[in-house]
């Protein structure tokens, strides 16, 4: 059995010129991601604070970080996480 990341809630800071539509499309391409919700929490002159809720069966956490970084965003905190046991393909 393996332990899989199924849900992740992230507080992130991103540049205002970076589109949340483009960001959500990129994040949906990360392995294991099935659904993304993005809420804009605060808007400043050059940045936006966003809350991301990411759901899937075996989310690639490193892939999430890389995708955010590629869009100029940073992870400020992990606010919630859900893990679960899953069977490996050969079990």
pTM equals 0.88
For the four alpha carbons of 73, 75, 79 and 82, in that order, the dihedral sign comes to: positive
pLDDT given for residue 87 in this prediction: 65
- pLDDT bucket at 88, cuts 50 / 70 / 90: low
Tens of pLDDT, residue by residue over 3-44, are 999 999 999 999 999 999 999 999 999 999 999 999 999 999
Q: For the chain, which domains are there?
A: 2-83 (3.30.70.1340)
Greater pLDDT, 1 or 51? 51
């Amino acid at each position: 059995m393996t332990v899989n990341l199924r849900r992740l809630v992230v507080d992130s800071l991103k540049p205002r010129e970076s589109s949340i539509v483009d960001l959500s499309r990129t994040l949906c391409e990360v392995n294991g991601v099935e659904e993304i919700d993005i809420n804009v929490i605060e808007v400043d002159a050059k940045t936006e604070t966003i809350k991301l809720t990411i759901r899937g069966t075996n989310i690639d956490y490193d892939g999430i970080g890389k995708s955010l970084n590629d869009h100029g965003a940073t992870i400020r905190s992990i606010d919630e996480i859900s893990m679960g046991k899953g069977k490996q393909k050969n079990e």
